Amino acid sequence: MKSEPTSQYMFLVRGGSCSSGHSPEEMQAHMKEVYNWIDDLTKKGIFSAAQPLTQEGKIVSGPGLVSDGIAAESKEAVGGFFILNVASMDEAVRIAESSPMFGNGGRLEVRRIAALTACD
Amino acid sequence: MSQQGTSAGEVADHFFRHEGAKVIATLTAHLGTHQLQLAEDVVQEALLRALQTWSYHGVPENPAAWLTQVAKNLALNALRREQRWNEKQDGIAAEQERWLSSPAEDMKHETFADDTLRMMFVCFHPELAAEAQTALALRTLCGFSPAEIAAAFLTSEAAVAKRLVRARQRIRDLALPFVVPEPGELSARLSGVLHTLYLLFNEGYKASTGDRLVRNDLCHEAIRLLTLVTEHPATQEPRALALLSLMLLNAARLHTRTDDAGHLLRLHEQDRTAWDQAMIQRSIVCLRQASQGGGLSVYHIEASIAATHCLAVDAASTDWPRILHLYDQLLAITGSPVTAMNRSVAVARVHGPQAGLDALRSIQQRSVLEISHLYYAIGGTFAAELGQTETACAHFEQALKLATLPAEREFISRRIEECHGKT
């Protein structure tokens, strides 16, 4: 079966950093959910890469114009990203909807990674 | 998922809970009991970081060492900050700083067992109230959250949090040492530890309204901690083994005590084939070990009673004369009206319901029992067996007034319906 041509999409994980109110058991259960989701994507050949980001960050606006990054507690803070191979934005959104990342007000920003060859 | 790490399936059930508790014990061993709160906080934070990092990266090769290392770094930073802000306070002792800065060694089972046992003697210190002891043990030794503890004890999360704060404060005020007590003191202190573990187990065992999973967890945590007690050279006494045997025998039957709808089932109604035979075998080994080296405790007798039930092929072939004999022994030791009440059931099975009723009515401190639904439920059962339907009905009605837990109330209501069916 010839599969549809795919593009790479990046899911930016915003907000939703776990508060200290969660029990170890709940945290571990959440981690397993994330793994199951990723395992499933890996089996389907969709998963490409993922990395967490540490909390510390700086915003550099020019030489000598350095300020602190977005606080980790902020809803806008990016906690990590996923890169997936999918055929369309619609499919990427569907996959994002199926993810277990939404606890504590977490959100996923879905962005297509621009191809080098064509102007999208 | 990732090339760096192993898959999530390799993190055992309750890994976060138990590994977190181990690290709390290890940190407290090095920082002192007055830093218990700090140890709990940094371990919670370390688990959070594990969650955030492992979800993308995969589980590291040695997750326990990873967790310990992160917790140590966090503790070191916190103590340095504290020191900077409060110059008058003693600095971090050189030894503590050295340990916190050293790489996390693989946690050896012996070291962990040692630290956990010492932590048990802190949590179960007689200077702490009984309810504070169990709450603290569940928090620090078992990794439960205040919400989970509240669910287990049918109380509010705020009440549990308050209880924990007071317990830690008391530990600081009394400067409780992080040690296994000296030989002269050990026997009495071990009694307290065993009794509290017994209470913890019973809290899980009794038919409460709480979540069934939480209740099973309480039983299994009590067994896990008691197993450590029985394996440690300082505390492996026959009475500890006997209590472990008793818990295993009851845990083996735990899941057959209610039907799918949550209705309580009597011993003769339970599916014996579903009893956990491996657990029963382990309990028998424990009981055999417990009977060596002398010293007969109430736990020995209670375990023997439970074993007699468990080893019967079916309800009809239960060795009731042996059980009655054991209850006679138990009553001689405890002299408790509750023991006498339970004994009356064995009397009825051996000598008939009238003898059971007589035994029940001749209990000396009967007034203590008259607030218990069980007293009336047992009396009602004897009366029903004697065909005294009206008396039985009156007893069950009284039992219903006293019972609080839904499963028990439902059970008694069914007995009342049976009585009405006969009149």
Query: How confident is the model over A50-106, as pLDDT tens digits?
Result: 998 888 888 999 999 998 887 777 778 888 999 999 999 999 999 999 998 887 778
User: What token pair was written down for A11?
Assistant: 């899911």
Helix (H, G, I), strand (E, B) or coil at B156: coil
Query: In this structure, which amino acid lies at residue B402?
Result: L
For residue B234, how far is the Cα from the chain centroid?
21
- The verdict on residue B109 lying in a domain is no
Query: Looking at the predicted structure, is the pLDDT value of residue A19 above 80?
Result: no
Residues B150 and B124 in one domain: yes
Q: What pLDDT was estimated at residue A17?
A: 65
Q: Do A31 and B44 touch (CB under 8 A)?
A: no
- The verdict on residue B236 lying in a domain is no
Q: Which residue of B has its CA nearest to A51?
A: B56
Residues B64 and B131 in one domain: yes
Strand partners, A78: A14
For residue B102, how far is the Cα from the chain centroid?
35
When scoring A14, A20, A22, A28 by the number of chain B Cβ atoms within 10 A, the one with the most, hence best to mutate, is: A28
Helix (H, G, I), strand (E, B) or coil at B180: coil
Q: Do B17 and A52 touch (CB under 8 A)?
A: no
Residues of B in contact with A22 (CB under 8 A): 48, 145
Shortest CA gap B347–chain A (Å): 46
Q: What pLDDT was estimated at residue B106?
A: 67
Q: What pLDDT was estimated at residue B59?
A: 86
Nearest Cα residue to B228 out of B92, B75, B110: B110
| Residue B136 to residue B128: CA distance in whole angstroms | 10
- The verdict on residue B333 lying in a domain is yes
- The verdict on residue A65 lying in a domain is yes
**Residue B360 CA neighbour count, 13 Å, CB half:** 25
Tell me, yes or no, if A94 comes closer than 8 A to chain B by beta carbon.
no
Residue A104 domain boundaries: 5-114
Residues B147 and B56 in one domain: yes
Residues B21 and B55 in one domain: yes
Q: What pLDDT was estimated at residue B213?
A: 67
Residue B83, burial from CB neighbour count under 10 angstroms (0-12, 13-18, 19+): middle
- The verdict on residue B181 lying in a domain is no
Terminal-residue alpha carbon distance, chain A: 27
Q: How many CB atoms lie within 10 A of CB B264?
A: 17
- The verdict on residue A119 lying in a domain is no
- The verdict on residue B24 lying in a domain is yes
Query: The CATH number of the domain where A70 resides is what?
Result: 3.30.70.1060
Q: What pLDDT was estimated at residue B306?
A: 94
Q: What pLDDT was estimated at residue B409?
A: 86
What is the DSSP secondary structure assignment for residue A117, as one 8-state letter? Answer: S
> Which carries the bigger pLDDT value, residue A119 or residue A15?
A15
Q: What pLDDT was estimated at residue B98?
A: 83
Residues B125 and B156 in one domain: yes
What is the DSSP secondary structure assignment for residue A82, as one 8-state letter? Answer: E
Extract the residue ranges of chain B whose pLDDT is less than 70. 1-10, 84-92, 106, 207-214, 423
Given the structure tokens 């802000």, which residue do they identify? B85
What is the DSSP secondary structure assignment for residue A67, as one 8-state letter? Answer: E
Element (H, E) at A24: helix A24-43
User: What token pair was written down for A97?
Assistant: 């909807």
Q: Which residue of B has its CA nearest to A78?
A: B52
Residues of A in contact with B48 (CB under 8 A): 18, 20, 22, 27
* Number of domain units in chain B: 3
| Residue B412 to residue B397: CA distance in whole angstroms | 8
Tell me the CA distances in angstroms from B396 to A13, B264, B372, B374, B385, one per residue in order: 59, 16, 12, 9, 13
* Number of domain units in chain A: 1
Residues of B in contact with A23 (CB under 8 A): 17, 143-145, 147-148
Q: What pLDDT was estimated at residue B127?
A: 92
Nearest Cα residue to B268 out of B256, B277, B254: B256
Residue B27 domain boundaries: 10-78+116-175
ipTM more than 0.90?
no
Q: What pLDDT was estimated at residue A95?
A: 94
Tell me, yes or no, if B52 comes closer than 8 A to chain A by beta carbon.
yes
Residues B71 and B19 in one domain: yes
Query: Looking at the predicted structure, is the pLDDT value of residue A117 above 80?
Result: no
| Residue B256 to residue A79: CA distance in whole angstroms | 46
Pairing of strands A7-14, A107-112: antiparallel
Residues B350 and B390 in one domain: no
Residues B376 and B416 in one domain: yes
Element (H, E) at A99: none
Q: Which residue of A has its CA nearest to B55?
A: A31
**pLDDT tens digits for range B71-89:** 999 999 998 887 766 655 5
Shortest CA gap A119–chain B (Å): 31
Q: What pLDDT was estimated at residue B74?
A: 94
